[in-house]
Structure 1
Amino acid sequence: MVDIYHLLLGLAALLLVIYFIVELNYFLRSLLCLIQANFFKQKKFILDETTISGICISNDVDYLLNHMNNARYARELDFAKLDFYQRTGLYKNVASKGGALFVGATTIRYRRFIKIFTKYQIKTKIIYWDNQNIYLEHQFLTKSGFVNAIAMCRIRLVKVDAEQIMKDLIENVPKKVIDIEAGKNKQKLTLSPELEKWIESNQISSEKLREKDKSKSNEEVGGIA
């Protein structure tokens, strides 16, 4: 009896340690999203919109304890992307060609609080792409349909051509995709004015940082000499 007690106590202590050093909620939620996207949700055409649902709980609120904190919005985008990647076949297509993808930039505009215990949806869709990047738009909507926040994300593809990836996904629609909504005409999306300015802003920032890195590197070389 004592041995069982000590075993259970040790197991509880181990779980407690794991809980504090690993973000279990994040990984469990990611696993749930992955299972739902692969086995329980309809596959989507690459230019269609995907939707996931969530609720603002006590773990999500800020110090005022009444609405979602700013950092949680970005965290929720991970689950929206995971759902989108799996249901549209984007990740599978990129990985099959030996490529990878990661987030290169994100901008979120907050319009109205998502209050505690409020249900919301995140709608995700592609708004543009070039030879290196795919641009996603995420909208946080509450029950009334109001857009509480909107985010733009630049997904950087490496070791593959984003134009070719999109061409493959547009021309070779999987049989499991029943409804094709946004992509009926299968044409490349036009670059919107706000996205064009955002891309330009990111390029200016990149050039500025490269100049700073170059200057620092020259200083280090000079110091060694």
Structure 2
Amino acid sequence: MDQLCYLALSVLLAIIVVYGLLELHYFLRMCLCVLLARFVKRRCHILDTTTVNGLCLTNDVDTLLYHMNNARYFRELDFARVDFYERTNLYRTITGMGGSVFQGAATIRYRRFIRPFHRFNIISRIIYWDEQSLFMEHRFVRPSDKFVHCIAICRQRVIDVSMEAVMSELLPRTSSNGFRATVLPSLAAPSPAAGGISNPAMDTSLAENGHGTTSGGATGTGATPTATTAHCLKLKPSLPPELAKWIEYNDMSSKNLRSGC
């Protein structure tokens, strides 16, 4: 009997230590998101929108106990991105081509509180990409009336592979009927200024971190135009004006940091 008590006490102590050293809820939920996205939810086209459900619990509220903590929104975005990566096969395509992806920047705008014990949906989609980056929009939406509580834009940086090449691999795959009906009519072939941004600040930043920029690929200099690349250009959305301003801000910030400002 004493041995059982000691064993139970040891297990309880181990659980307390794990909770103290790791955010166990985060890792358990992340594993659940991966499993659901890979084995339960349907596959999506790379330009489709994906939705994950959330609930504001007591461990999500701020010190006023009145609404979800502002930092929790970014935490929730991790689960939305993992769901999107798995269902669109984006992450496996990037790693399969020898590259990797990480978050380079994010901006968020809050419109209205999410109250404790209120449900919300995170709707994620790709709004643009260039040679080194993928830009995603995430909306926190109230399920009952589709009110947008907040909107976030995240810049996912890819290294050791061209994002244009990744999209050329994923775009030709058959898209869903919903995507064709709602997105394709609004997409136009990008202009040279918007369709493939040549950003010296990005190139310099990658070089500073020891990563060579990837040129060529599906849209590289000297590449022979094909039916696939033409199809991808037609599907590529034009650069939203607000995103162009945000990219400009990030570039200015990078230049200031490099100059010691």
Q: Secondary structure at the match of 2:155?
A: strand
Q: Which residue of 1 aligns with 2:104?
A: 104
* Unmatched 5+ stretches in structure 2: 186-233
1:65 Cα offset (Å) = 0.3
* Unmatched 5+ stretches in structure 1: 214-225
Letter in 2 for 1:35: L
1:156 has 2:204 as partner: no
CA separation in 2, counterparts of 1:103 and 1:180? 28
Would the aligned equivalents of 1:120 and 1:141 in 2 still touch at CA under 8 Å?
yes
Question: Counterparts of 1:38-117 in structure 2 under 5 Å?
Answer: 38-117=38-117
| TM-score of the two chains, using structure 1 as the length reference | 0.90
| TM-score of the two chains, using structure 2 as the length reference | 0.78
CA separation in 1, counterparts of 2:173 and 2:44? 12
Letter in 1 for 2:168: K
1:211 Cα offset (Å) = 1.0
CA separation in 1, counterparts of 2:258 and 2:75? 28
RMSD value over aligned CA atoms? 1.4
**Larger relative contact order (CA 8 Å, sep ≥ 6):** 1
Q: Which residue of 1 aligns with 2:36?
A: 36
Letter in 1 for 2:156: I
Bigger shift: 15-24 or 164-173?
A: 164-173
Q: Deviations over 1:133-155 (max 9, x none)?
A: 00000000012211000000000
Question: Counterparts of 1:114-133 in structure 2 under 5 Å?
Answer: 114-133=114-133
Question: Identity over aligned residues, as a percent?
Answer: 47
Q: Which residue of 2 aligns with 1:221?
A: none
Q: Which residue of 2 aligns with 1:171?
A: 172
Q: How many residues align?
A: 210
Q: Which residue of 2 aligns with 1:198?
A: 246
Would the aligned equivalents of 1:44 and 1:180 in 2 still touch at CA under 8 Å?
no
1:187 has 2:235 as partner: yes
CA separation in 2, counterparts of 1:105 and 1:76? 16
Q: Deviations over 1:56-91 (max 9, x none)?
A: 010000011021010000000000000000000100
CA separation in 2, counterparts of 1:8 and 1:124? 44
Q: Secondary structure at the match of 1:212?
A: coil
Q: Secondary structure at the match of 1:164?
A: helix
1:119 Cα offset (Å) = 0.3
Selected match of 2:260 from 198, 202, 212: 212
Letter in 2 for 1:181: F
Q: Which residue of 2 aligns with 1:217?
A: none
1:4 Cα offset (Å) = 1.2
CA separation in 1, counterparts of 2:19 and 2:249? 39
CA separation in 2, counterparts of 1:160 and 1:172? 20
CA separation in 1, counterparts of 2:177 and 2:28? 30
CA separation in 2, counterparts of 1:108 and 1:139? 10
Q: Deviations over 1:108-167 (max 9, x none)?
A: 000000011100000000000000000000000012211000000000000000011011
Distance 1:178 1:192, change over 3 A: closer
Q: Secondary structure at the match of 2:149?
A: strand
